[in-house]
Amino acid sequence: MKQIKIHSLEETEALGLRIASLMEPGMLITLTGDLGAGKTTFTKSLGKGLGVKKTINSPTFTILKIYQGRMPLYHMDVYRLEGIEQDLGFEEYFESDGVCVVEWPNFIEDQLPKNRLEIDIRRMDENSRVFNISGIGEKYSKIEGEL
């Protein structure tokens, strides 16, 4: 696990841009952390690095938002799916031509691919965060090592 301490929005953006530069079609990033930890803020930076021009905001009520850039960004917030057991067809996005970001992945754990980049964000104070990054699978472990 790689631990990266962030002390400003600019550093969060730099990390998002760096990770975006390492993404390939079909990759998955899961984001965990308390409410307000910075999951959507990080996703905005990742999207910017993927060439997304539209404003990225949390898909809490829509579950999924799709953004076009140099490759599609599929941004999912599955918080509202707690306790739902049915298959919602997410695998088509996980196996797609874009990058998937899933906030609150624990609610659909049984539907997620095993291999992924897991990012856990913890607040230290108002401006500081700790990003704990774990690559599961060869290509994701390589990304972890490059950060």
C-alpha span between 50 and 122 (Å, rounded): 24
> Do 32 and 23 form a contact (C-beta atoms < 8 A)?
no
Q: Is the sign of the CA dihedral 78, 82, 85, 86 positive or negative?
A: negative
In the chain, helix, strand, coil percent, each to 5? 30, 25, 40
User: From first to last of its 147 residues, what are the pLDDT tens digits of the chain?
Assistant: 999 999 999 999 999 999 999 999 999 999 999 888 889 899 999 999 999 999 898 776 678 899 999 999 999 988 766 556 656 667 788 888 999 999 999 888 888 999 999 999 999 988 899 999 999 999 999 999 999
Strand partners, 67: 73
